[in-house]
Amino acid sequence: MTYTGPYTYDLTLESLKDDRLIATRIFEGAECRTFKKPVTNDKTPKIYVLQADGKTLYIGYTSQSISTRLRDGLKKAGTFKDYKGYKWKDSKSVKLSVFVFNHKLIGKRCDEDIPFIDLAEAVEAELVYLVRQKTGRWPEFQNEIHFNNEERERAKEITEDFYNKIMK
C-alpha cells in the first residue's frame, strides 16, 4: 500500500459554548476554509499527527474524512455515550500532519479491508513507539494504541519515513 503526505495544516481552535471548533486552517502558507483532498477522502486509511510547542500531542488512525474525525473529537464531553473528546482539544493551536494511504476501503470491516487496516494501525503503533524511543516521551495525550504485527518490516519502513518528515 502506497501513501502520500504529509499534508500539514496549522490550526487554531476556539470555544463555542461547550464545544471546541477549528477557527482557522493554514495550508501551504494560505488560509483555507476547509480541509483539502485527499485528507477529506472517506473510507481511506490515514495516520494523523498533532503537535504543539515542539511536542507530539497525539497520533491517530482514521479512515473517515479528517474533517469528520476532528469535528467529532472536538465536541463536548458527553455528546456521545461514554465520550470525553480529544484530550488535546483545549490547545489554542496545533500542527496537524496527515499521511493518506492510497487505498479505498470497502467498509463495514469487510474481510478484504483487514490487511490494509492492520497495516495502517501497525504504522500508528510503531510511530507512537518511535516518538517515545527518540524523544523519551510518549505523545502527551496518547491513550490507546492498536498493536499488531502485520507486515511489521513494511510498517517500520513507513514509520521511519513518517517520523523523518514530521520531526524536522
Domain ranges of the chain: 3-166
Q: And the C-alpha cell for 52?
A: 504543539
Question: How many helical (H) and strand (E) elements, i.e. helices and strands, does the chain have?
Answer: 3, 6
Reported as a pLDDT band with limits 50, 70 and 90, residue 19 is confident
- Per-residue pLDDT, 33: 95
- % pLDDT > 90, the chain: 76
Q: Give pLDDT, residue 5.
A: 96
Q: How far is CA 159 from the centre of its chain?
A: 13
Confidence of residue 78 (pLDDT cuts 50, 70, 90): low
Q: Is 150 within 8 Å of 115 (Cβ atoms)?
A: yes
Quick one: pLDDT band at residue 85, thresholds 50, 70, 90? confident
> Across all residues in the chain, what is the average pLDDT?
92
d(CA 14, CA 44): 28
pLDDT tens profile 91-115: 999 999 999 999 999 987 799 999 9
pLDDT tens figures, 111-127: 999 999 999 999 999 99
What's the confidence (pLDDT) of residue 83? 67
Domain 3-166 class in CATH: alpha beta
C-alpha cell at 123: 504504522
What's the rounded Cα separation, in Å, for the pair 149 and 134?
21
pLDDT in tens, 31-61: 999 999 999 999 999 999 999 999 999 999 9
